[in-house]
């Protein structure tokens, strides 16, 4: 009998260990909510902790490679319809007049991961297409997204979606580990036509050297997340293909704007009981006239700041 009892206990312990390891390796974690518990949808526990510690997390698989390629094809079809590449402010908040980018900012897998980091009630208020042509010598200097923004609280993140392979050879994103803990850092505005940032802003190298820099190597369909205070940059594209990334900025509906030209925002998940922002609407078709008119109206508010406040 004692031997059978010991075997039974060992069997129970073995089953418990198997269940624990299965849960540990699955893409779930438990976090608190007002109702008790919520099962995390995309991120491992370690990935959520990485974001808190480092100010970023990657790679997160959100889209299939074919799906990401489909978005690239629709973008390039839109360029073909225009007869030219997208220019200037057409690259920003483009989800207001392109249906495929409206789909992307609402993509379930992306929003599941965003929800894991900032909660279930989510707004998007800004986006940017970062397109580097083959042999493009332009770069993005070290900077923080937060420099010209005024928000409270500051738990705002960028989801950077790769629509092409991204690596050092074609100017992938680089992130300064732990720099989100610095708070807002002083930037200098130094004229350089190769710098893709609207105000040529940059952080001094002496500051960046405090941190270890990480290349964000991504395959199409993978995304990275970084905090609004996380310093980041990217280099030129020396490859024979375009490098295309779509950066989407998300915040909780409870986030208030405390300064700068009034922002508009789109509710992409959950409910907004606060109503801090003029609501945006999804376009009905590509180049939607109403969407393009609203886009012109909302970005015009930011002309005086060289569009750095949006």
Q: For residue 284, which phi and psi values (nearest 5 degrees)?
A: -85, -25
Q: What is the pTM for the complete model shown?
A: 0.86
Q: What is the mean pLDDT of residues 159-188?
A: 97
Q: What is the pLDDT of residue 309?
A: 85
Task: Decide: 234 and 138 in contact? Cβ < 8 Å.
Answer: no
- DSSP per-residue codes, 66-108: HHHHHHHHHHHHHHHHHTS---GGGGBSGGGT-HHHHHHHT-H
CA distances for 13 relative to 10, 22, 35, angstroms: 5, 14, 31
* Residues in CB range of 276: below 8 A, 6 or more apart: 253, 255, 256, 257, 265
Read off the pLDDT band of 304 (50, 70, 90): confident
Q: What is the pLDDT of residue 23?
A: 39
Kindly tell me if the per-residue pLDDT of 19 is higher than 90: no
pLDDT tens figures, 20-62: 333 333 433 333 333 334 456 889 889 999 999 999 999 999 9
């Amino acid at each position: 009998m004692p031997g059978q009892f010991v075997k039974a206990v060992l069997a129970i312990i073995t089953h418990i260990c198997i269940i624990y390891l299965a849960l540990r390796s699955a893409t779930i974690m438990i976090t608190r909510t007002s109702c008790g518990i919520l099962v995390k949808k995309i991120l491992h526990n370690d990935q959520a902790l990485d974001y808190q510690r480092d100010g970023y997390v990657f790679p997160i698989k959100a889209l299939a490679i074919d799906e990401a390629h489909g978005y690239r094809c629709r973008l390039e079809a839109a360029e073909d319809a225009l007869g030219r590449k997208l220019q200037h402010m057409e690259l920003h908040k483009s989800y207001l007049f392109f249906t495929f980018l409206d789909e992307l900012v609402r993509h379930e897998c992306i929003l599941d991961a965003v929800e894991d980091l900032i909660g279930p009630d989510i707004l998007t208020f800004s986006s940017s297409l970062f397109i580097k042509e083959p042999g493009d010598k332009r770069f993005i200097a070290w900077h923080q997204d937060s420099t010209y923004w005024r928000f409270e609280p500051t738990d705002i993140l960028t989801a950077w979606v790769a629509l092409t392979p991204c690596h050092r050879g074609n100017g992938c994103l680089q992130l300064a580990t732990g720099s989100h803990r610095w708070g807002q850092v002083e930037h200098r505005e130094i004229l350089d036509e190769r710098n893709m940032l609207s105000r040529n802003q940059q952080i001094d190298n002496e500051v960046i050297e405090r941190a270890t820099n990480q290349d964000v190597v991504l395959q199409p369909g993978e995304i990275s997340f970084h905090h609004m205070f996380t310093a980041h940059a990217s280099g030129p594209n020396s490859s024979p293909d375009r490098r295309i990334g779509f950066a989407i900025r998300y915040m909780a509906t409870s986030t208030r704007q405390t300064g700068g030209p009034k922002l508009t925002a789109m509710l992409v998940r959950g409910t907004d009981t606060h109503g801090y922002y003029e609501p945006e609407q999804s376009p009905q078709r590509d180049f939607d006239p109403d969407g393009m008119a609203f886009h012109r109206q909302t970005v015009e508010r930011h002309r005086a700041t060289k569009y750095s406040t949006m």
